[in-house]
Amino acid sequence: MISNRVKEIPFSGIRKFFELVQKSKDIVSLGVGEPDFPTPEPLKDAGVRAIENDFTSYTSNYGLLELRERIAEKLKKKNSIDRNPETEILITTGVSEALDIAIRAILNPGDEILIPEPSYVSYKPCVWFAHGNPVPVPSKEENEFRVLTEDIKGRITKKTRAIILSSPNNPTGSVLRKKDLEEISDIVIENDLIVISDEIYEELIYDDEKHYSIGSFNGMTDRTITLNGFSKAYAFTGWRLGYAAGNSEFIESMMKIHQYTMLCAPSVSQHAALEAFRYENYVGDMVKEYDRRRRLLVKGLNEIPDISCIMPKGAFYTFPNIKNTGIKSEKFAERLLKEGGVAVVPGSTFGDCGEGYIRCSYSVSRESIDEALRRIERFMEKLG
């Protein structure tokens, strides 16, 4: 009774893996993909006040105008992107929804979307659900997992419609530099493409690295749909709130799908999110702690024989290389879980070029990182 398309699309590899984790005992998990901090108090209080004041009805399909205004101000100040809050910003149920409706709004059946890999697990399935064809573009460790323009160029066909960029990246933590984005913009303009730019990890960035929004680059204003949200920066995952910003044609078309399928994003969450714009310190403190954990984890991983790990520049993931073990990443993760008591995600979950790597998150306490490192070291010794 199920459609062939849905039957053909596999469940997320992460989900499959975490079913295994749930069945296991005494596990240290580096598999998590969400902040381990609580939602900041002022945002929680604003949510409670919204409930007490009965702000619990539907909002405008586009989302609360006041929230769109705050987002427009933020986009202008932080991202140099000018968007009209009335017509060019749509509040969504997380970046997840924004991604889905952006893809559905622009794809015709058989169209191709380029996806630099390793990539977030939802990109490919969303393209499949929209009757399109995802075209992976591998990125390599030698280039710090930043996609190369010649690799993009080589995969463009008459059917290519768009490219999905994700910087900082899940699962590699790579950050695209200004020059990378300038070169990608040139290709996009030359080939009349659209960019869907997932910037959900924008705030989680380290060292001297800087986040650039491709939507602010010359000639990109009408070719970019910028996606962002509150999940990662404000430990807001369960509140389900994100947004899309683009020209009014994109946003209106996305709104058409959103209107029929979602109606509006959660109203209590929208009221709580208003508080986020008054509360920037929280993000800074959280980033400092992630940075400490990042260094601790990368240093520890590099001290273990047969594991090497480049220093990620953003998000809260490391992507260590386990190729020296000669074991496929899925098998490695399964054995590490069963024999070593540590949960990580196999790199192959994020695309074929993730084979030979595992994703280890540092969205866990420093104590858990220390314990995980001890266990990985013991496991590797036993592996010989």
Ligand X SMILES: Cc1ncc(COP(=O)(O)O)c(C=O)c1O
Cβ proximity to ligand X, 360 vs 376, nearer residue: 360
User: Which residue lies nearer to ligand X by CB, 275 or 375?
Assistant: 275
The single-letter code of the amino acid at 251 is: I
- Sign of the C-alpha dihedral computed for residues 182, 184, 186 and 189 taken in this order: negative
- Residue 207-246 contact track with ligand X, rule CB under 6 A, x = bound: ----------------------x-x-----x----x----
Of all helices (H) and strands (E), which one includes residue 368?
A: helix 366-383
Nearest-angstrom CA–CA distance, 189 and 163: 12
33 or 341, CB closer to ligand X? 33
Enumerate residues 332-371 that contact ligand X by CB under 6 A. Answer: none
Shortest Cβ 122–ligand X spacing (Å): 7
Site string for ligand X, 77-96 (x = CB under 6 A): -----------------xxx
In the three-class reduction of DSSP (H, G, I as helix; E, B as strand; rest coil), residue 216 is classed as: helix
Beta carbon nearer to ligand X, 97 or 275: 97
**Site residues for ligand X, window 261-300 (CB under 6 A)?**
none
What whole-number distance in Å separates Cα of residue 36 and Cα of residue 362? 9
The least distance separating ligand X from the CB of residue 350, rounded to whole angstroms, comes to 10
Nearer to ligand X by Cβ, of 74 and 378: the residue is: 74
Per the document, the length of the chain is 384
CB of 121 to ligand X, least distance (A): 8
CB of 144 to ligand X, least distance (A): 17
**How far is 142 from 331, CA to CA, in rounded Å?**
24
The residue with its CB nearest to ligand X is 94
- Tell me how far apart the alpha carbons of residues 242 and 7 are, in angstroms, rounded to a whole number: 29
Q: Does 200 bind ligand X (CB under 6 A)?
A: yes
Size of interface with ligand X, in residues (CB under 6 A): 13
Rounded distance, CA 205 to CA 345, Å? 22
194 - beta bridge partners? 162
Closer of 123 and 379 to ligand X (Cβ): 123
Q: Which of 117, 180, 198, 330 binds ligand X (CB under 6 A)?
A: 198
Nearest-approach distance from CB 232 to ligand X, in angstroms: 7
- Determine which residue in the list 27, 28, 30, 33 makes contact with ligand X, applying CB under 6 A: 33
Site for ligand X in 145-184 (CB under 6 A): 166, 170
CA 345 to chain centre: 15
Closest-CA residue to 333 (of 200, 175, 174, 171): 171
The smaller minimum CB distance to ligand X, of residues 33 and 347, is found at 33
Residue from 62, 120, 212, 316 that binds ligand X (CB under 6 A)? Answer: 120
Strands 342-343 and 28-29: parallel
CA pair distance 148, 170, nearest whole angstrom? 17
CB of 227 to ligand X, least distance (A): 7
CA angle 145, 315, 146 (to 5 degrees): 15
Task: Considering the complex, state which of residue 200 and residue 310 has its C-beta at the smaller distance from ligand X.
Answer: 200
Nearest to 141 by CA among 174, 182, 92: 174
> Which residue's CB is nearer to ligand X, number 165 or number 301?
165
Q: Which two tokens stand for residue 7?
A: 């039957």
Cβ of residue 256: shortest distance to ligand X, in angstroms? 20
Strand partners, 91: 243
Separation between Cα atoms, residue 220 and residue 182, nearest integer Å: 10
Which residues of the chain form contacts with ligand X (CB under 6 A)? 33, 94-96, 120, 166, 170, 198, 200, 229, 231, 237, 242
